[in-house]
Amino acid sequence: MAEVFLHIYDVTNSGSEKTNNTILQINRFFKDGIGLGGIFHSAIQVYGDDEWSYGYCEQGTGVFSCPSSKNPMYTYREKIVLGKTNCTIFMVNQILRELSREWPGHTYDLLSKNCNHFCDVLCDRLGVPKLPGWVNRFAHAGDTALEVAGNTAMRIKQAKTELVSASKVAYRFLSNVTSNVTNGSNGSSPQRPGTLNSSDNGNLRLQGSWFKGLLNTAKPSSSTEIENKDDDPNHAITNQPKNQSRDSVPIHHSAFG
């Protein structure tokens, strides 16, 4: 049996001292202050002095090792004992070889496949508890938010499609009503039992004209036209404050390891 250690770092590899200091302040407040979470890099140490983790690279595996607690990319924070594994050193090496094939560097994703996710998988295969929830909580929250936003957008699009279909059905129905009304009002045959008199026909002609005007102004757009309007910046909401800032917060893809 061998002990398994979790090494945690503050992510301070943005290249900007101001940004790095901001991340440190966020971690101090949200983790040290209220125990919620932060922006962290993690690595696992088992058998030997090296720690194992995962990161982005264009080619090859994203799994890498370095001397434990000595990763030069980040600021070291703490070490946590996760437990003991029953795996032999041979089994651990085999697990690491498998993970190296399963975790290529180009599949790295800030929110759904980062270093903390890798460490969770490694811990699971070693048979020890996974990382504490606060280590990767911000990434989990971000991933959930994106999923909710995606589902909402899909539901809105589906609702638009159903609305367009319903309006087309209504349009065809009104067109038939108008056609029947106008065709029936143009005849000059004598009135028969059960038919309308001339005054009623006059009312129907008036209603037919009104229906035509309604249809000409309310003809449904196609779903493509609606989607194009949504994508057209000229159709964006214009009641925003004139002095509202358009600055956006940059996302550093090296966060969470």
Q: What is the pLDDT of residues 23-66, one digit of tens each?
A: 999 999 988 888 888 899 999 999 999 999 999 999 999 999 99
Mean per-residue pLDDT for 173-179? 63
Dihedral over Cα of 1, 104, 71, 50: its sign? positive
Side chain identity at residue 18, one-letter code: K
> Which of 7, 41, 87, 123 is an active site residue?
41
Whether 241 has a pLDDT exceeding 90, the answer reads no
**115 is an active site residue:** yes
> Which of 7, 87, 115, 117 is an active site residue?
115
Side chain identity at residue 185, one-letter code: S
End-to-end CA distance of the chain: 28
**41 is an active site residue:** yes
Q: How confident is the model at residue 111 (pLDDT cuts 50, 70, 90)?
A: confident
Q: How confident is the model at residue 244 (pLDDT cuts 50, 70, 90)?
A: very low
Its pTM stands at 0.57
Mean per-residue pLDDT for 224-243? 48
Q: How confident is the model at residue 112 (pLDDT cuts 50, 70, 90)?
A: confident
What is the reported pLDDT for 235?
47
Which string of DSSP letters, residue by residue, matches the chain? -EEEEEEEEE---SS-HHHHHHHHHHHIIIIIITS----EEEEEEESSSEEEEE---SSSB-EEEEETT--TTSEEEEEEEEEEE---HHHHHHHHHHHHHH-BGGG-BTTTBSHHHHHHHHHHHHTS----GGGSHHHHHHHHHHHHHHHHHHHHHHHHHHHHHHHHHHHHHHHHHHHHHHHHHT--PPP-TTS--HHHHHHHHHHHHHHHHHHHHHPPPPHHHHHHHHH-GGGS---S-TT-----PPP-TTTT-
What is the reported pLDDT for 139?
75
Nearest to 9 by CA among 18, 20, 17, 19: 20
Side chain identity at residue 120, one-letter code: D
